[in-house]
Amino acid sequence: MSTVLNTTGRAFEKARAENRAALIGYLPAGFPDLQGSIDAIKVMVEHGCDIIEIGLPYTDPVLDGPTIQAAAQQALDNGIRTKQVLEVVEAVAAFGAPTLVMTYWGPVERYGVEKFAADLAAAGGAGLITPDITPDFGQEWIAAADKHGLDKVFLVAPSSTDERIAMTTAAARGFVYAAAVMGVTGKTAANIDIVAPLVARTKATTTTPVGVGIGVSNGQQAAEIAAHADAVIVGSAFVKTLLEAPDRETGLRNLAALTEDLAAGVRRG
């Protein structure tokens, strides 16, 4: 077992040294199947993703749109559960990109919060992104993450008050996830007029890097956002590329091209 703790910080340092934003790529574990997800993420790392988010497939993903939900359902139908997600983390962490898990809370609580944190750290995972846990209801996770040196990535949204942004950034480690749109993943394009003030309000409270996600699907959008944020986060566009490909080989080829487009985007920003 490797132990690669808190490496998102190093990824951000590298990006900062190159005077650019980082590119964070998301894919659900087990989509299109267990090995397929590992192969796809390898392509994403090789073609420019600095940090990887691995989705833990869940039956009730309230913040995900139809694209990611369909992929997660396919993974669930393939029998992917928490144990396999940790296997994917271990395989992917070995590619060298810091690897976080994005998960709804139900499966973590069922697995056991402390045990999940310990096993994630042992698998080389860098931390968790928790879309349905805010710091004020996440004390158990915060304690476990602190004990195991894991990143705690909480979300801020355009609707967040300044007080809540301050509370959230004070609890966050690794980076802060700024939701670019009031909506679910993969449905609405990010609007820079909404993103920029949110990033500015967030940065006013913290030195922790701020990543922007939800509603980003191409290099041009990535460039616009990279001018304001420390990282650009892309999920549905990667998933859609694989979902729509006629075969596995084409899917991986298109995935490589999309990653390169986005990686170029964060370098233009």
Binding other proteins by CB under 8 A: which of 3, 16, 106, 147?
106
Closer CB to other proteins, 165 or 262, in the complex: 165
182 binds other proteins per the rule CB under 8 A:
yes
Binding other proteins by CB under 8 A: which of 8, 168, 169, 205?
168
Of 27-35, 88-96, 150-158, 251-259, which segment contacts other proteins by CB under 8 A?
A: 150-158
Residues with Cβ < 8 Å from 39, sequence gap 6 or more? 252
Question: Residue 206 is encoded by which pair of tokens?
Answer: 């913290």
Sites for other proteins among residues 211-250 (CB under 8 A): none
Binding other proteins by CB under 8 A: which of 11, 41, 133, 242?
133
- Report the side by side order of strands in the sheet with 231-234: 151-153, 127-129, 99-102, 51-55, 22-28, 231-234, 210-213, 176-179, 155-156
The alpha carbon torsion through 46, 88, 145, 63 (nearest 10 deg) reads: 90
CA 229 to chain CA centroid, nearest Å: 15
Closer CB to other proteins, 45 or 72, in the complex: 72
Closer CB to other proteins, 168 or 241, in the complex: 168
Residues 203 and 210: their CA atoms lie apart, in Å, by: 7
Binding other proteins by CB under 8 A: which of 78, 188, 191, 220?
188
**Amino acid symbol at 236:** S
Closer CB to other proteins, 18 or 77, in the complex: 77
164 binds other proteins per the rule CB under 8 A:
yes
The answer to whether the peptide bond before residue 32 is cis (omega within 30 degrees of 0) is yes
183 binds other proteins per the rule CB under 8 A:
yes
**Looking at the DSSP assignment, which residues form a beta bridge with residue 83?**
none
Question: Residue 54 is encoded by which pair of tokens?
Answer: 């691995």
Residues 168 and 153: their CA atoms lie apart, in Å, by: 9
Q: Which residues bind other proteins (CB under 8 A)?
A: 58-63, 65-66, 69, 73, 76, 81-83, 104-111, 131-134, 136-137, 139-140, 154-161, 164, 168, 179, 181-184, 187-188
